[in-house]
Chain A
Amino acid sequence: DAEITQSPRHKITETGRQVTLACHQTWNHNNMFWYRQDLGHGLRLIHYSYGVQDTNKGEVSDGYSVSRSNTEDLPLTLESAASSQTSVYFCASSEGPGQGVWTQYFGPGTRLTVL
Chain B
Amino acid sequence: QKEVEQDPGPLSVPEGAIVSLNCTYSNSAFQYFMWYRQYSRKGPELLMYTYSSGNKEDGRFTAQVDKSSKYISLFIRDSQPSDSATYLCAISRQGGSEKLVFGKGMKLTVNP
User: A residues within 8 Å of B by Cβ?
Assistant: 31, 33, 35, 40-45, 48, 58, 90, 92, 94-109
In angstroms, how far is the closest chain B Cβ from the Cβ of A46?
Answer: 10
Indicate if the CB atoms of B45 and A106 lie closer than 8 Å.
Answer: yes
Residue in chain B with minimal CB distance to A43: B102
Do most interface residues of chain A lie in helix, strand or loop, or is the interface mixed?
Answer: loop
A-B contact count (CB 8 A): 68
Inter-subunit contact A99/B95 (CB<8 Å): yes
Q: In this complex, what residue of A is CB-closest to B46? A: A103
* Interface: B77 (CB within 8 A): no
B103-A90 in contact (CB<8A):
no
* Residues from chain A with Cβ under 8 Å of B41 in the complex: 109
Inter-chain contact A43/B44, CB cutoff 8 Å? yes
**In the complex, A45 Cα to B4 Cα: how many Å?**
14
Most buried by B among A100, A104, A105, A108: A104
Chain A residue numbers with a CB within 8 Å of B42 are: 108-109
Alpha-carbon gap, A103 to B45, bound state (A): 9
B95 touches A48 (CB 8 A): no
Q: Does B51 count as interface, using CB distance less than 8 angstroms?
A: yes
What's the Cα separation between A92 and B96 when bound, in Å? Answer: 10
Bound together, the chains give a CA A42 to CA B42 distance in angstroms of 14
Q: A42, B97: Cβ atoms under 8 Å?
A: no
Q: Which residue of B lies closest to A91 (CB)?
A: B43
Interface contact B46-A42, CB-CB below 8 Å: no
Bound form: Cα–Cα A43–B87 in Å:
12
> Could you say which residues of chain A place their CB within 8 Å of the CB of B60?
none
Q: Is B67 close to A, CB under 8 A?
A: no
Residues of B close to A90: CB separation below 8 A: 43-44
A101 to B32, CA, bound (A): 7
A43 and B43 contact, CB distance less than 8 A: no
In the complex, are the beta carbons of A107 and B95 less than 8 A apart?
Answer: no
CB pair B100–A104 under 8 Å, yes or no, is yes
Query: B99 touching A96 by the CB < 8 A rule?
Result: no
Contacting residues, chain A, for B88 (C-beta < 8 A): 42-43
Contacting B102 at CB < 8 Å: which of A42, A95, A102, A103? A42
